[in-house]
A and B are shown apart, each in its own frame.
Chain A
Amino acid sequence: MVVGFLIHSLDETQITYFSYFFSAHLNDEQSTKRQNLIISQVYQNYDKKLQSFDLLQTNIENNYSKQLMEKSVGVGVFRVPESSLFQKPKVVVWKKVLNLCYTLILSPDENRMAAQHFLKFFIQLLNEHFKNNTISSKPKLLLTKPEEVLILIEKTIPNGNLIYANSFVVKNLRTEIEATILNKKKNLKDLETKKGIKK
């Protein structure tokens, strides 16, 4: 099960743009501490990988190796041991795209390959929804429509379930997300009109 999903920066600021915990137990007073712990660990892992890569990349002669290194810098996985913040151990899978990092907190027996797959199609849906392939470079733009990001999360990991989504399910989700958001806009218009009539 996915117990939490975070969208955050991966620089020294470590800003959380979005956090979603799928269990009542994790939505308590400690939730901020919990998310900060995960983000700081992701940041440390990423930062060290990046620094090592920066040190080496000017010398890399082999293009294939360079691609491999680049790929391995932007993704990661690690275990979070049992602690006062997490009663049971968890596994964290993260993926960095431009200025943002998308991080899943999983129960240890979750299918991690499916988690990685989710991150790929979630980011693809996010880009498509905002009609901007570089939306991850403009995190503040996401905050102008947090409710739409919310709908995207709810549809793609309903209650912390990783969906085994092929391209047709992804297409279906895309349609459903757009319909939900469009419906909102339509309904809002209707409500405004009704209100106007009353006035």
Chain B
Amino acid sequence: MSNNPSFPFPEEKTQKIFSKFQLVVQNKSQGNELVDSLRSLLLSYQFSKKKPRLNKEQKTFLINIIKNPNSTSIMKSLSSYILRTTSGYSKGNVLQITLKKSNGEALESLICFLDLWVDGRRLEKKIPQILSWISRDQLLTEQIIPFLTPILSDHPFIFEKKTRDAFEKQFITCLTRASLNSAVITGSFWRQASPIPVTEFDGSKCIDFFTVLNCSQSYTNDQMTNVYTFSLLYSWLQTLYLDPIEKQKQQEEEEEEEGFGNNEDFEKEKQKEKGNIKIIKMNERFCEAILKYCLRTLDQSVTKISTEQSPKEAEVIDSNIQEIVEMESIRILTLICQIDPGQIQKVTSIIKKIYERRKTQKHSLHPFVEIMNFVIINIEQIKYDFQPMINSIFGEKLFDLYYNSLECFDLLEFVLINRELLLENYPSIFSKHFLAFFRILAWNPDEFSLEFLELLPTLIHPGNYLEIFHTLLDLPILSLCLELSLYKDLEKNVDLASFSEILNYILRKESSSNSGSGSGKNNINFWDQNEYLSALQEFLESNKHSPRVISCCKIVPILLQIYFDVLISYASIKEIQELSIIMFNRYFQLFAKQSFLNKVQKLILEKTMSFFAGNPSLIFDLNEQFISTLQSLSPGIDYIGKIDFLISITWIIGEYANKKIEARLNNEIISTFFSSIEVIAFEYLTIVEKSKKNKKGSSKYSMGLNESQFQKQRQSQSQSQTQSQSQSQSQSKFQIEYENKINFENQFLMKRFGNKSETQSLLKQISTEQGKNQTRLLITLILALTKIASRNHSFIQRTLVIISKIMQHSEKYNFLILERAEEAAKLLNNPGIASLLFDMEKSARSQKNSYNISDEKSSLPFLLLENDSQNESFHNFFF
């Protein structure tokens, strides 16, 4: 064989290998020639794009190699591997050939293919034969037991009660009666070495029965069988006992839900189905043997490892295996209790002891996860307070293990599988310690995204939904902070002193929702704190974004979608109202990665629309927020997402500022709405006119932060808007301010997005979008003003002034704007028709969002709270 194979194999090479193999088959070659050919064949299966198929002659040849007692182990392994690799192609052909020829021949040949039986029914017929082998031949038992795992996985139905009992009888022997002496090693030719006794890890002689945690200098067949049997136990119990029990439970639940109790046909069907699920009680002796074995391994798992007996390298393996076997024994005991609840009390006392022993030691999370699993599954029967364990794991250990993906994965899987039980019994895991889960996600966004998509609905509850919203939006910053905290000593590092407050807040372990009542209103939005904001900007700019941070940016919009789905389906109007305010605030307060900004902003706007569609009365609840937001936006300066934001708000006002939709709206509120939109319309008309006059005009885009001074001037501008004189004054004032701000905004953009070329490309991109966006905005503004004016005719004249301003300079506007303006003018000149169109009473849309949550301080997530209107207390947990 060539020492330097190329990948993948060219087709000619594969052909050549096959032709050579065919020659070997025809000549019935042996020795090195055969091994070389088989080796090449193996490699061709690994490295050829097109996997060649074996013909019947070739298969028979390979089977004969396996059956031939003179074949070497290598020849057998290679032949078996090649047949195995192609087994899925041939759907049992290999086995049919083997079966025909196996009668009376070497049994080994059949064993080699036990796991390749695609057709389980054929294998079932061979079971009595297999059972007779294992009852009389220890060597065969050792060989057969490992095969049971794939057979269990593929054909569990084979193990009917009789077969199961026979195997279990054999397992009891394997587990409890393995030899207590090592295999006898033949010494020098004149005398045989005496047997060496099996020992414990501390070097003492084993006086009890043999287990996987005993040490044998040379393993006998029965000792190896003992090791294999222990490996098999979990899947044996799971597949043959627990799966049918769970299947039956699931079926009963489904039946209850469907509620067909009175239907006779259904009852008959039910009986029939029950007959198909065969739940067999576990053999008492087998159960006892397993309990005995597991208890012994749990005792052995704390045996101190003798350094004399094991060299240092071996000591590491042995201390690892002690923990792993402990974990496996707890897993098996948990299964036993699920199968036979009579064992719970006995096992609980053992589990308590293990926990008491483990809690003071520094260990990995794995055994704790298994202990928690036992506790939560048997929670009704166990009278022991495991809350301290929960607090210690979720409140402390988990926060420091976010970088250990294997431990985190085990914990996440445990939480996901048992989430309903955990929510009912230990809701604090989600309400109090949810930040630990976000830390895991921020560090492993690619590995655990699937888990988190499932977990998120469980985390959101009335006490923390606002904090979760902030945490989700700040996930990329959390990721950045975790990286920073790992490579720098935060307390001593002078460079980080100015960020320390932000870092401490983002890396906090306790939810700020817990320090006060209600919906987490106590949590800090550091974006709102001026003293933090400049430090935050500096912090974000001074650190490069790692792929981890970028991955967080990608997953946030997906998670937000799930977050909003939960809120839209389950939150009360009051909660939606609170969230909407936060959404407005956070719209411009986001991590500065453009694709992230675009997606999140788009989603926020989409969901705002959904909130209004479900709850039009929000127009009154949020009127102050709307007006102050509209007045706070710098005119003429396009922050990322500003125009879309304006379009959405303007559209919402135009659509819902209607007394017939929300009776609480008075003339004053509607007038303020109108004035705010009117000001914006004038400002944009000015921009369009100015940009046409001076095409060379410098760029006018901004991120628009720190605008408090500008805001004050805008407020005064808004108040004087009703008089045309002051209108022109404010417009000219605006133009001066607008010119002055351009330089500042460009500098800001440069700072925020780093290098010059990136800023330039961003500006170019924004520039091409600008025309389209302004057209969309102006159309929406005209429409909103027209809608309000059609409901309140005192605004008609003011709307027509704006429309006439557009028509006077028609050459400067897109034809779409002109068309809309013309339509609006025609409508408003016929107020009766306009009212008919826009002053309709809306039929109440979906009421599903309007139910009230009785206990707003509840620690239960939304998914578990009573839904009075729909009488659904449980959510199906899937989004």
Contacts and interface: CB of A to CB of B under 8 A. Distances in A.
B46 A26 contact: no
B878 interface: no
A144 B3 contact: yes
Contact of A68 (B5, B212, B403): B403
A192 interface: yes
Interface residues of A, number: 92
Interface stretch (B268-276, B540-548, B704-712, B859-867): B540-548
B55 to A, nearest CB: 17
A59 B201 CA distance: 43
Given A25-B88, A27-B88, A166-B212, A192 B32 contact: yes
A86 to B, nearest CB: 13
Contact of B89 (A28, A61, A147): A28
A16 B149 contact: no
Given A22-B150, A23-B153, A76-B447, A109 B87 contact: no
B410 A112 contact: yes
A165 interface: yes
A168 B405 contact: no
A79 B453 CA distance: 13
Contacts of A116: 406
Interface stretch (B228-236, B770-778, B820-828): B228-236
Interface in A134-193: 140, 143-144, 146-148, 150-151, 154, 158-172, 175, 180-181, 183-184, 187-188, 191-192
A113 B31 contact: no
Interface string B193-221: 00000000100000000001101111100
A69 interface: yes
Interface in A82-103: 91, 93
B150 A160 contact: yes
A51 B546 contact: yes
Interface stretch (B323-331, B455-463, B713-721): B323-331
B384 interface: no
Contacts of B153: 1, 3, 23, 107
A56 B486 contact: yes
B447 A146 contact: no
Contacts of B403: 68-69, 72
A165 to B, nearest CB: 7
A1 B4 contact: no
Contact residues of A: prevailing secondary structure: helix
A1 B404 contact: no
Contacts, number: 257
A24 B317 contact: no
A44 interface: yes
Contacts of A19: 46
B173 interface: no
B84 A27 contact: yes
Contacts of A48: 446, 547-548, 551
A122 B645 CA distance: 58
B218 to A, nearest CB: 7
B727 interface: no
Nearest to B406: A77
B450 interface: yes
A19 to B, nearest CB: 7
Contacts of A169: 212, 219, 227
A18 B487 CA distance: 37
Given A159-B147, A166-B215, A183-B73, A77 B231 contact: no
B116 interface: yes
A185 B861 CA distance: 66
B74 A24 contact: no
Contacts of B313: 167
A37 interface: no
Contact of B447 (A62, A78, A112): A78
Contacts of B328: 111, 114, 164
A17 to B, nearest CB: 7
Given A13-B7, A143-B5, 18 more contacts: A31-B88, A52-B546, A52-B549, A57-B487, A109-B235, A112-B406, A113-B327, A114-B328, A117-B324, A143-B1, A159-B115, A160-B150, A164-B230, A164-B328, A167-B313, A168-B217, A187-B72, A191-B72
Interface of A: 1, 3, 13, 15-29, 31-32, 44-45, 47-49, 51-52, 55-57, 59-62, 65-66, 68-69, 72, 75-79, 81, 91, 93, 107-109, 111-114, 116-117, 120-121, 140, 143-144, 146-148, 150-151, 154, 158-172, 175, 180-181, 183-184, 187-188, 191-192, 195
21 contacts: A1-B235, A25-B118, A27-B86, A52-B548, A61-B493, A62-B488, A68-B403, A72-B403, A77-B447, A79-B450, A93-B406, A111-B234, A144-B1, A160-B150, A162-B231, A164-B227, A166-B212, A168-B219, A172-B219, A184-B74, A191-B30
